[in-house]
Amino acid sequence: MTWLLPLAVTAAAAGLTYWFCARPMRRRAQCLSASAPPDATLDAHLRAAREELAGLRASGAQSR
């Protein structure tokens, strides 16, 4: 009987995940919690991160 509550919580989590994420994705919509930027924005973020990393590596090499 002690396994009933964890089983119910697991079933509720699976049901809510399906209802709010999997079901909308089947309709070619996004999951409610998805906050992925558009592709152009993603490319800009990646470019900025690569430039920042190169700058950090260069400043680290200078400090040695």
In total, how many domains does the chain have? Answer: 2
CA 17 to chain centre: 15
Element (H, E) at 26: helix 23-26
Q: What is the pLDDT of residue 24?
A: 77
Contact 35, 41 (CB under 8 A): no
Per residue in 2-61, pLDDT tens?
A: 899 999 999 999 999 998 888 877 776 656 555 555 667 878 899 999 999 999 999 877
Please indicate, yes or no, whether residues 60 and 45 belong to a single structural domain of this protein. yes
Q: Would you state the structure tokens that stand for residue 10, as one six-digit string?
A: 């697991």
Q: What is the pLDDT of residue 6?
A: 94
Residue ranges of E strands in 1-64: none
Please indicate, yes or no, whether residues 21 and 6 belong to a single structural domain of this protein. yes
Q: What is the pLDDT of residue 47?
A: 93
Supply the range of the domain harboring residue 13: 1-33
